[in-house]
Amino acid sequence: MVPHLRTLAALLDRRGRRALSLIAVLTVGAAGLEMLTVALVYPLLQLIGSKSVGDGRALIAASGGFLALVVVKSVYNFGLLRFQEGWYQRVSADISRRLLHRYMAAPWLRHLERNTAALIGIADGAATWPLVTTLRSHIVLVTEGLVLVGVLGVMLWAAPLPMLVATSTVGGVFWPVSRYSSRRLHALGEQGTAVVADRVQAIRHALDGLREIRILGRPAWFEARYAEARTRDGAVQQQLNMLFALPRLVLEPLIVMAWVAVIVGLVTLRPDQLGDAVAVLGLFAIGGLRLIPSLTRTLGAVASIKAYRPAIEAISADLAAYPAATESPQRPLADLAEAIRIEGVGVDFGGATQAALDGVSLTIRKGQSIGIVGASGAGKSTLLDVMLGLVPPARGRVTIDGVDIASDLAGWQRQIAYVPQHVTIIDATLRANIAFGLADADIDDEQLHHIVGLAQLEGVVAVHGLDGAVGEDGCRLSGGERQRVGLARALYTARPVLILDEATSALDSETERAIGATLQALRRKRTTITVAHRLATVRACDVIVFMSAGRIVDHGQFDDLVARDPIFERFVTSGWQ
Ligand SMILES: Nc1ncnc2c1ncn2[C@@H]1O[C@H](COP(=O)(O)OP(=O)(O)OP(=O)(O)O)[C@@H](O)[C@H]1O
Ligand SMILES: [Mg+2]
């Protein structure tokens, strides 16, 4: 329990820990008010029953006072509830935000290693209900624990021997039950955390892939996968809820059993003192009644803490494994002044037999336009990922005017505008998709309209409007329109280096020609690196880089390459246009 408490405390900041202590103290205050109310009922009843009520003023005053106390108690409890529930939710939201922040700041390769559904399961699953319940349970443990100690202490003081008999009977039977339930709760908690990820993944696959699923007529497989995860989840929840209820179900008969044990003991050992024993039994009956709810709540809290422990540990492990983004680079990178140099770069992806990139060297001078071509799988996108600083090279390095980009990746990335092979479209307006991540107030409308023209998006704007929604994953856009939105996004924030990965592959030749003219004009002002399958897209580049099987086979001006490189020539003439 204590190491777990330390794990939990480490998730909170200092303010959070202080608030948790304050809530514990305030909850003890609430328990005090509760006890005071109960304690005052008896004298009030005595007053009503007494003959000296007189004109009844004293009774009215006492009832009024009692009412005031009950109202104060309710207001206090309401305020406390508001404070503590608000605080639990704030802590939970803050941890979810911190996890998302760290997942987004993580190195790209790590991002590729982990399943998105697993991350959602922790940041959006574990950090919500399990975390809030664990926090709440710790408070319950403190306050109900105090009540338990108080009531048990009074009983022990009043009747030490019967109490020892009773507690050892209850404890002796309850101990193995508790051990069993503890082990099961931990195992179920682990399964519960894993199954959330399976559930999220199954439903995402079913809905994300709906187009192909429908045409192939295979919804049954996806439904079955989701149903299986859901059933598994249901089974875990059912067993958890049963274990949560188990203490109450076991305790009630146990306490009565202890009562019977005390009666039997008294009758057989001290039949002469049975008269005194009635008082002890009365104490047991009343104490037992007060104990059962407190014990139930305490054991319920212990069970919740155990069941959600794996979830809390998963949060803690990810917070430790994913460091927060560091703002200060080792060595700030100046703006590109001379050249980007790729020096003997090699990349091996785990599991692949062949290196994705091997001994790649290339110099790109400021202002040059580079076209990268090669068969599918040749390593073009991987080379761009290395230049973008997303994939760190296993061998070699990429430098900007002699400085390794690894010394300030964020500084380098801020110099780049990039259109990926698969443009991400968010379910928002065209404006939000172009400005991508800028607040509305920061969007420059004049610049936006200028970019809409450059990216040949006027037709799309005429149909949807800049403030029209483009649908989930851009479902209201055509393939070429998506690409042009990606291009507009890259051009909106003027950056000196432009990297395009098949950015115009889905355009018709006329639109591509128009965009090509824009890009050609940009090439004169910026350093551009263009990956393309279509010859027309890159023909005019200063240098063509020809890649095959992770290597640069040759590079030079298009006409020189055709003239001197038979493989390139074959590549060009074999319909690569
Ligand atoms: N994350 C990854 N893990 C393992 N292998 C990868 C990964 N990304 C790419 N690869 C492999 O690396 C090789 C190069 O891929 P890359 O995406 O760079 O090809 P490409 O030249 O861009 O192809 P295309 O023209 O089809 O886009 C491929 O064999 C691919 O399967
Ligand atoms: Mg590619």
Give the pLDDT confidence of 295-316 residue by residue, as tens digits.
Answer: 888 989 999 999 999 999 999 9
Residues 6+ apart with CB under 8 A from 196: 121, 125, 126, 233
- For the cut 90, the answer to whether the pLDDT of residue 53 exceeds it is no
Give the pLDDT confidence of 183-212 residue by residue, as tens digits.
Answer: 999 999 999 988 989 999 999 999 999 989
Q: What CATH superfamily classification does 2-321 receive?
A: ABC transporter type 1, transmembrane domain (1.20.1560.10)
Q: Which of 102-106, 148-152, 213-217, 255-259 has the lowest mean pLDDT?
A: 255-259
End-to-end, the C-alpha distance of the chain in Å comes to 67
Q: How many CB atoms lie within 10 A of CB 534?
A: 17
Question: Using 50, 70 and 90 to split pLDDT, how confident is the model at 518?
Answer: confident
3-state secondary structure (DSSP) of residue 54: coil
List, as one string, the DSSP characters of 76-122: HHHHHHHHHHHHHHHHHHHHHHHHHHHHHHS-HHHHHHS-HHHHHII
In this predicted model, which residue has the larger pLDDT, 365 or 62? 365
Please list the residues that pair with 527 across neighbouring strands.
Answer: 497
Residue whose CA lies nearest to ligand 1 atom number 29 = 377
- For the cut 60, the answer to whether the pLDDT of residue 524 exceeds it is yes
CA separation for the pair 24, 80 (Å, rounded):
10
Q: Are 537 and 565 in contact (CB under 8 A)?
A: no
* Atom from ligand 1 closest to the CA of residue 375: 25
> What pLDDT is attached to residue 319?
94
Q: Kindly give the distance from the C-alpha atom of residue 376 to the centroid of ligand 2, in angstroms, as a whole number.
A: 7
Q: Are 35 and 146 in contact (CB under 8 A)?
A: no
In this predicted model, which residue has the larger pLDDT, 265 or 425? 425
From 539, 492, 478, 484, select the one nearest 512 (Cα to Cα). Answer: 484
Q: Kindly give the distance from the C-alpha atom of residue 337 to the centroid of ligand 2, in angstroms, as a whole number.
A: 28
Residue whose CA lies nearest to ligand 1 atom number 19 = 377
Q: Kindly give the distance from the C-alpha atom of residue 115 to the centroid of ligand 1, in angstroms, as a whole number.
A: 19
- 534 alpha carbon, closest ligand: 1
SS3 labels along 317-344: HHHHHCCCCCCCCCCCCCCCCCEEEEEE
Query: Maximum Cα–Cα distance for the chain, whole Å?
Result: 122
Give the pLDDT confidence of 246-293 residue by residue, as tens digits.
Answer: 888 888 888 888 778 777 877 787 777 766 667 777 777 777 777 888
From 277, 266, 208, 288, select the one nearest 475 (Cα to Cα). Answer: 208
List, as one string, the DSSP characters of 396-410: EEEEETTEEGGGGHH
- For the cut 60, the answer to whether the pLDDT of residue 576 exceeds it is no
Q: Kindly give the distance from the C-alpha atom of residue 382 to the centroid of ligand 1, in angstroms, as a whole number.
A: 6
Report the alpha-carbon angle 205-206-207, nearest 5: 95
- For the cut 50, the answer to whether the pLDDT of residue 577 exceeds it is no
Which segments within 401-439 are labelled E, that is strand? Answer: 403-404, 416-419
CA separation for the pair 131, 60 (Å, rounded):
48
* Atom from ligand 1 closest to the CA of residue 374: 21
Residue whose CA lies nearest to ligand 1 atom number 31 = 377
In this predicted model, which residue has the larger pLDDT, 564 or 1? 564
- For the cut 50, the answer to whether the pLDDT of residue 565 exceeds it is yes
Residues 6+ apart with CB under 8 A from 154: 287
Give the pLDDT confidence of 392-401 residue by residue, as tens digits.
Answer: 999 999 999 9
> What pLDDT is attached to residue 137?
94
Q: Kindly give the distance from the C-alpha atom of residue 531 to the centroid of ligand 2, in angstroms, as a whole number.
A: 8
Average pLDDT, the chain: 88
Dihedral sign, Cα of residue 513, residue 515, residue 518, residue 519: negative
Share above pLDDT 70 across residues of the chain, in percent, rounded to a whole number: 97
Helices vs. strands in the chain: H and E counts, helices first: 21, 10
Residues 6+ apart with CB under 8 A from 232: 191, 195, 198
CA separation for the pair 231, 576 (Å, rounded):
51
CA separation for the pair 111, 107 (Å, rounded):
7
Residues 6+ apart with CB under 8 A from 259: 166, 281, 284, 285, 288
CA separation for the pair 243, 177 (Å, rounded):
10
> What pLDDT is attached to residue 575?
60
Residue whose CA lies nearest to ligand 1 atom number 26 = 376
> What pLDDT is attached to residue 278?
72
In this predicted model, which residue has the larger pLDDT, 375 or 507? 375
Q: What is the mean pLDDT of residues 7-32?
A: 89
3-state secondary structure (DSSP) of residue 445: helix
In this predicted model, which residue has the larger pLDDT, 519 or 2? 519
Residue boundaries of the structural domains of the chain: 2-321, 339-573
> What pLDDT is attached to residue 498?
94
> What pLDDT is attached to residue 2?
65
Q: How many CB atoms lie within 10 A of CB 301?
A: 23
Q: Which CATH architecture has domain 339-573?
A: 3-Layer(aba) Sandwich (3.40)
Q: Which residues line ligand 1 (CB under 6 A)?
A: 112, 349, 352, 356, 374, 376-382, 421
Give the pLDDT confidence of 492-507 residue by residue, as tens digits.
Answer: 998 999 999 988 887 7
Residues 6+ apart with CB under 8 A from 468: 429, 430
Hey, which of 354, 357, 381 would you mutate to test ligand 1's pocket, going by the most ligand atoms within 8 Å of its Cβ? 381
CA separation for the pair 57, 60 (Å, rounded):
5
Hey, which of 114, 358, 372, 382 would you mutate to test ligand 1's pocket, going by the most ligand atoms within 8 Å of its Cβ? 382
Q: Kindly give the distance from the C-alpha atom of residue 357 to the centroid of ligand 1, in angstroms, as a whole number.
A: 10
> What pLDDT is attached to residue 206?
95
Residue whose CA lies nearest to ligand 1 atom number 4 = 349
